[in-house]
Structure 1
Amino acid sequence: MPARLKPAAAADVAAALDRVRAGEPAKADLRLLTKHYLALLEQRAPGRSVEVRVPPYAAVQCIEGVRHTRGTPPAVIETDAVSWIALATGAMTWSEAVDQARVRASGERTDLSAHLPLGGVVR
């Protein structure tokens, strides 16, 4: 069983968000923030019916419903790290991301608007 993601230390998140705000994020910042916000989503919306993927950094299963155990889950959300961080921090809404094709979502329960933002607004 893969290790669960854990939220990052507040100081590390703040520093990475500062670099994102300045338009100077390193890959390490994107990795830290992606995993941090996926961990928060997993904690706040527990379940195994929807898989949220942010390649190449991480993926989590969340949202209550039919449990997925093998193969491709019936509900999948995929986005890039910059878009995921914008969604998680409130810099972009779910509907904006969908309208701009910055997320791909298929299956039931794939509207995350009720769970976003997760905190730490970046504008």
Structure 2
Amino acid sequence: MGIFNNMFGKNEKKSSTKQHKAFVNWIPLKSIEELDNISKNSESEAILVFKHSTRCGISSMVIKQFEKMFTDEHQHLKVYYLDLLNYRDISDKVGFRFQVMHQSPQLIVVRNGVSVHHASHHDILQTNLSRFI
């Protein structure tokens, strides 16, 4: 029965596999007023906004890989999570306020109230997070 257990999910070796520790402390972006906080806080540190579509396969893959990019060094970065399907109006305001055309998935980095970096789709995974510490 061992071969069937391995094929259909009962694999005891999985529990001993080293788990990747996630350092992303997602901050939900659920109100337009929060954009004022992002602008204000960006005066002293970089603020990241990740726009994600929960119905998009590419977006799901990219967000998982994005989380894996974070190391102990990046744990203090402020990263906002914007659910595009539930907060489309906020997504529109983000684009207008920071002068970035909407895409999904999308990463926008704000410093001193303006976008200093943005990337979409697989280009998000090429972002050097260390330069925003």
TM score, norm. by length of structure 1: 0.28
Higher relative contact order (CA 8 A, sep 6+): 2
Who wins on radius of gyration, i.e. which is larger?
A: 2
Greater helix content = 2
**Which structure shows the higher strand fraction?**
2
